[in-house]
Amino acid sequence: MNKRRFALLSVANKKGIETLARGLVDLGYHILSTGGTADAISNAGLPVTRMVDYIGETEIMEGRMKTLHPKIHAGILAEDIDGHFAELERMHAEPINLVVVNLYPFEYVAADPSLTLDDAVDMIDIGGASLLRSAARNFRRVTVVCEPDDYETILWHLAKSDRVTDKFRFELAVKAYAHTAKYDAAVFTGLAEYNVETGKKAR
């Protein structure tokens, strides 16, 4: 098994992200990141690998495909068995141990009365939600974090024993699904207000 440890950080709420990234780097983690999160980490003087450099491709479709890539999701979904890690090696991919993602509250986007339907649809986060779901599904190997309030506890676990307990990883996975469920509910509620023919809010 590959002993190098990778953390993927891509957050809308950047509270505490620099502190978390610094703690992870000090513990020997390699940081993968995107967009503004990568900028925040880099500006703090910390090493970070940008997603486009890791996957070896530029962003396509105006950034819609930043994290929707086999090297990313295979690295998250690979289970702790030799066959899966051998496949990752053939793909030149790394097993990702920690996924830190949170989604911008869609209800704030949808609250703008002047926002058109097309603009609202463009704001729907596909990649972030997919990362959370993939990591939560593979909670037996991967730690998924969606709330900044958990960063300190994560670093404590990793500093103490180099791993997060099975119980806490499961709790974090359930919390991640709650996060995506709340997000999906906000998208449903927001889109339901629109008239598809006019592209404007019907209410």
Interior/surface letters 74-111, b for 16+ CB within 10 angstroms, e for the rest: bbbbbeeeeeebeebeeeebbbbbbbbbbbeebeebbe
Q: Is residue 27 part of a domain?
A: yes
Domain that holds residue 10: 5-112+124-184
Q: Is residue 194 part of a domain?
A: no
Q: Which of 44, 50, 54 is nearest to 74 (CA)?
A: 54
Q: Is residue 202 part of a domain?
A: no
Q: Is residue 189 part of a domain?
A: no
User: What pTM value is reported for the model?
Assistant: 0.92
Q: Which residues contact 104 (CB under 8 A, 6 or more apart)?
A: 12, 13, 123, 125
What's the pLDDT at 50?
A: 93
Q: Is residue 197 part of a domain?
A: no
What's the pLDDT at 1?
A: 44
Q: Which two tokens stand for residue 99?
A: 């996924």
Q: Which of 23, 183, 170 is nearest to 103 (CA)?
A: 183
For the segment 108-144, what is each residue's pLDDT rounded down to a tens digit? Answer: 888 998 999 999 999 999 999 999 999 999 999 999 9
Q: Is residue 68 part of a domain?
A: yes
Q: Is residue 118 part of a domain?
A: no
For the segment 135-175, what is each residue's pLDDT rounded down to a tens digit? Answer: 999 999 999 999 999 999 999 999 998 889 999 999 999 99
Q: What is the DSSP string of 40-84?
A: HHHHTT---EEHHHHHTS---TTTTTSS-SHHHHHHHH--SSHHH
Q: Which of 198, 202, 2, 10 is nearest to 100 (CA)?
A: 10
Q: Residue 147 belongs to a domain with what CATH number?
A: 3.40.50.1380
Query: CA 165, CA 131: separation in Å to the nearest integer?
Result: 21
What's the pLDDT at 65?
A: 59
Looking at the 3D structure of the chain, how many domains does it have?
1
Query: CA 10, CA 52: separation in Å to the nearest integer?
Result: 13
Report, as an integer, the average pLDDT of 91-115.
91
Q: Which residue in the block uniquely carries the two structure tokens 């793909």? A: 91
Q: Is residue 117 part of a domain?
A: no
**pLDDT above 70 covers what percent of the chain?**
93
Is residue 34 within 8 Å of residue 66, measured between CB atoms?
yes
Query: CA 27, CA 5: separation in Å to the nearest integer?
Result: 9
Helix (H, G, I), strand (E, B) or coil at 100: strand
**pLDDT above 90 covers what percent of the chain?**
71
